[in-house]
Structure 1
Amino acid sequence: MKIKNSPILLSILFTLLAIVFPFIAGVIIAVKNISSLSFIVLIQFIAFAVGVLVTLWIMKKSKFSFQDFGFRKFKAEAWMAVIVVSELVAFFNGIADQDGFSAQYVLILLLFVIAVGLFEEFIFRGLIFKYLSAKGLKTAIIGSSILFGIGHLAHLAAGQDFLLTLLQVVFACLFGLVCAEIVAKTKSIMFPIIWHATHDFIAFLTDSEPNVLSVSIYIFHCLVLIGLAIYFWRALFPKKAVMNLKNPESYV
């Protein structure tokens, strides 16, 4: 079986590619025993920035155009307001108070989340979504979101708590599902990139210590994602009209 003719195998390889660059950054940080928060984020930014360039090169060398991958403008729609409000809710948990938190750190963090948003969306809602589309739109949406969630299992290699990682995987699957549906609906990858970067930026800025409020906000975000997922799914795949038995010529 040729890899280029297997959308599923290609998608798995792209998922592994998404893990490689943050893994390299983690190794460098660990080997060099780097403790500076700003320096850690800077190394991660460089790794993801290289990943963005590599991904763009792969896209250019593929049989698809950049427009095929969703490099298109998008129009503002009402559902976007729901996403904006749900993200701003996280600020109720307060701004994170940690060592090394400075204006310089915030600037580097902004660059980092932009690189992450670009890289991961190019991989999962760009390459993987497009190649899996050969198997059908539903396969592309569900498959890309599951692989996006599975990709977050890599946090276990960094020693992260299993339960916390599991929660991140579940959230990532939901987030990926909605992003994939948005790409399917708008034919553009631009809004998911902006949303992804914004979500990560707010997540890093706000307090993530486990407490009643933070857990409540997490549950709220999950419920919003589930609601959006259902909304977009119904819009993309409306139920087929059912013939009215009393009047065969009419449909309900």
Structure 2
Amino acid sequence: MANAQIRKESFSKRRPILAVVIIELLLLFAVFAAGAVATMKQLDYTSPVLLSFTPIAIVLIIYLTLRRRWGEIGFRSLRTIPVEQTKYYIPLILVLGTIALKGFGELTLSKVAFFIFFTLLVAFVEETIYRGLIFNILLRKSAVAAVLTSSILFSITHIMNALSGQNMADIALQLVYALLIGVVLALLMLKNGNIIPLVLFHFVHNLIQFLGDDLQDTGTLPYDIFVIVVLVGYCIWLTYSVRTQRHSVDSSNTSQPINR
């Protein structure tokens, strides 16, 4: 009976660490392979993501649909988020507003339409993998493991920006930025279990950045530093809130009378 129960468990439940490693390696392999193809074919800078993330998105949609796991990894109605919890999403709006202050480049209908598709694709794939699959696999071990590991892997994945010729200072800033964003989104996932707001934020965040004015990049450092400071404070606030919430739940459970 015990052996039958073990066989029925999914691979991710039996080998959570190995499952996370495999997911991350497959994603990195797909991105770097697509990057190699794009380099050989001399395609533009968006091609590696399109070549790798489009099939990944299709596989994710098929897998989540056939296994009926959409709700399990956080794709739930926004109405499941209590009204009193909506205040914890306000700093995300501050972050979006700050990066929008950097300005925008010349916009055309075709450019906007393309980057809407492009950034929505990236947001769906990355949130589904990091705050959906990886987060939930590791949550069975501990909340700390789920938040930190998913955020670190999310940050490491963004090291592929090094291939675009940026200097080490810019790359380090991006990795710290991605790590803080990852921790914030993971904590929000831990708090409310809804991935939809995270996908929307990721989508709008990337859309603003891709439509931004590249000519003003040299003057954006103060904005970046301000956003990082906001994110650090945001992480502290969310961590305190999550710990308080979990302590309240634990205290409530222990105070309940045991029915015999």
TM over 0.5: yes
Partner of 1:107: 113
Does structure 1 residue 80 correspond to structure 2 residue 89?
A: yes
Q: Does structure 2 retain, via aligned residues, the 8 Å contact 1:18–1:120?
A: no
Q: Does structure 2 retain, via aligned residues, the 8 Å contact 1:41–1:108?
A: no
Three-state SS of the structure 1 residue aligned to 2:140 is: helix
Partner of 1:31: 40
CA displacement at 1:61 relative to structure 2: 6.7
How has the CA–CA distance of structure 1 residues 158 and 42 changed in structure 2, closer, same or farther, with 3 Å as cutoff?
Answer: closer
Residue 172 of structure 1 aligns with an amino acid whose one-letter code is: A
Residue 16 of structure 1 aligns with an amino acid whose one-letter code is: L
Q: Does structure 1 retain, via aligned residues, the 8 Å contact 2:99–2:209?
A: yes
CA displacement at 1:200 relative to structure 2: 0.6
CA displacement at 1:179 relative to structure 2: 0.5
Identify the match of residue 52 of structure 1 among 54, 57, 62: 57
Identify the match of residue 67 of structure 1 among 68, 71, 80: 71
Partner Cα separation in structure 1 for residue 144 and residue 65 of structure 2: 25
Partner Cα separation in structure 2 for residue 225 and residue 81 of structure 1: 12
Partner of 2:251: none
Q: Does structure 2 retain, via aligned residues, the 8 Å contact 1:18–1:123?
A: no
CA displacement at 1:86 relative to structure 2: 2.3
| Alignment map for 1:1-252 (pairs within 5 Å) | 4=12, 5-35=14-44, 41=46, 44-45=49-50, 47-59=52-64, 65-74=69-78, 75=81, 77-96=86-105, 102-208=108-214, 209-212=216-219, 214-238=220-244
Taking only aligned residues, the RMSD between alpha carbons, in angstroms, comes to 2.6
Q: TM-score, normalised by structure 1?
A: 0.81
Q: How many residues align?
A: 231
Three-state SS of the structure 2 residue aligned to 1:237 is: helix
Unaligned runs of 5+ in 1: 242-252
CA displacement at 1:222 relative to structure 2: 0.9
Partner Cα separation in structure 2 for residue 140 and residue 84 of structure 1: 25
Partner of 1:247: none
Q: Deviations over 1:150-175 (max 9, x none)?
A: 11123334544333222111111100
CA displacement at 1:180 relative to structure 2: 0.6
How has the CA–CA distance of structure 1 residues 33 and 94 changed in structure 2, closer, same or farther, with 3 Å as cutoff?
Answer: same
CA displacement at 1:25 relative to structure 2: 3.4
CA displacement at 1:216 relative to structure 2: 0.9
Partner Cα separation in structure 1 for residue 24 and residue 170 of structure 2: 21
How has the CA–CA distance of structure 1 residues 119 and 69 changed in structure 2, closer, same or farther, with 3 Å as cutoff?
Answer: same
Partner Cα separation in structure 1 for residue 176 and residue 117 of structure 2: 26
Which structure dedicates a bigger proportion of its chain to helix? 2
Identity of aligned residues (%): 26
Partner Cα separation in structure 1 for residue 100 and residue 224 of structure 2: 12
Once the two structures are overlaid, the 10-residue window that deviates more, 157-166 or 46-55, is: 157-166
Partner Cα separation in structure 2 for residue 179 and residue 49 of structure 1: 23
